[in-house]
């Protein structure tokens, strides 16, 4: 039953994103942009392979690299649905963008998505330069569950590949289990972009044991956040995940990590990826581009 529900939700989410982005993405005719070139790659992971889309901008090489993890509660979403999002990021930032199609729950429970995400980073470390990227300027990014995976990947990379990641972009990230019962879970329980009950169901698919903590799933609960790369943390005021995103930014700050924390007032969960390139999406993307440029300048 859970698998059937997950598959139906995947179909609906892909349809919604296609409708929201249809005809709204900037074109070379409307804004002087040339569409990013997209290629598909295959990445070997534990017990299988996953896909990745590589978006190459017209900006001259070598370019900063963004490893992007899509949202969807660890259960829905894929790189096809997020194609216009990643194209927009690539075109506006001038970065090489690699979108990772990590495996989803309930078919693959934790820590599969986290393992796939790290494998995606390792693949970028190995092949990024050949693709025209700059391996000294790698950023991880993601929204919602993808923000969780970006944070978890940064934590794993700190221990396994120190100083590889130059920044983490966490867009309304999942950082803790629903059992934490933050105020925003109650205040925004029936949010348009995400409800409390949906998030509980997502977690129960990803962590079927229903344990409230896991080193590769709940980054907020870890004891050591030192020596992590700079972070841009974006949250939405009307989001059930608002408080855990803000709490993660605070924990990073208290661990002497360079953090830029932005809360988008009046916005719902999903404003960046799910609902098309509206004003809030464009504002957030502009903030992301400026932040990446600032971090990249530090590496020159």
Residues designated catalytic = 144
106: helix, strand or coil: coil
**Long-range contacts formed by 42-47: CB under 8 A, 24+ apart:** 43/100, 43/116, 43/119, 43/120, 43/123, 44/119, 45/103, 45/115, 45/116, 45/119, 46/112, 46/115, 46/119
Beta strand 63-69 with 48-56 is unpaired
CA atoms within 13 A on the CB side of 65: 28
Which residues partner with 100 through β-bridges? 52, 69
Closest among 28, 6, 116 to 67, alpha carbons compared? 116
Closest among 141, 95, 148, 93 to 121, alpha carbons compared? 141
φ and ψ at residue 204, rounded to 5 degrees: -70, -25
Q: Give whole-number Cα distances, 74 to 46, 93, 211, 229, 286, in Å.
A: 18, 26, 16, 24, 27
């Amino acid at each position: 039953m859970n698998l059937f529900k997950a598959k139906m939700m995947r179909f609906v989410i892909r349809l919604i994103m296609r409708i929201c982005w249809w005809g709204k993405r900037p074109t070379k005719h409307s804004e002087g942009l040339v569409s990013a070139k997209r290629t598909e790659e295959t990445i070997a992971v534990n017990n299988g392979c996953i896909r990745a889309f590589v978006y190459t901008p017209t900006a001259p090489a070598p370019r900063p690299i963004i490893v992007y993890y899509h949202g969807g509660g660890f259960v829905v979403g894929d790189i096809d649905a997020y194609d216009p999002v990643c194209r927009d990021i690539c075109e506006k930032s001038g970065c090489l963008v690699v979108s990772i199609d990590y495996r989803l729950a309930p078919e693959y429970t934790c820590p599969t998505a986290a393992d796939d995400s790290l494998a995606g980073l390792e693949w970028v470390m190995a092949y990024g330069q050949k693709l025209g990227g700059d391996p000294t300027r790698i950023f991880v990014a993601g929204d919602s569950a993808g923000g969780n995976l970006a944070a978890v990947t940064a934590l794993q990379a700190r221990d396994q590949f120190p100083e590889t990641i130059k920044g983490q972009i966490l867009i309304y990230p999942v950082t803790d289990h629903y059992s934490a019962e933050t105020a925003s879970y109650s205040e925004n329980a029936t949010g348009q972009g995400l409800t409390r009950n949906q998030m509980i169901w997502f977690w129960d698919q990803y962590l079927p044991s229903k344990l409230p903590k896991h080193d590769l799933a709940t980054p907020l609960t870890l004891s050591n956040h030192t020596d992590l790369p700079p972070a841009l943390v974006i949250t939405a005021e009307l989001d059930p995940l608002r408080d855990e995103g803000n709490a993660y930014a605070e924990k990073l700050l208290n661990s002497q990590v360079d953090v830029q924390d932005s809360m988008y007032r009046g916005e719902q969960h999903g404003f960046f990826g799910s609902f098309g390139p509206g004003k809030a999406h464009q504002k957030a993307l502009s903030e992301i581009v400026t932040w990446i440029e600032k971090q990249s300048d530090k590496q020159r």
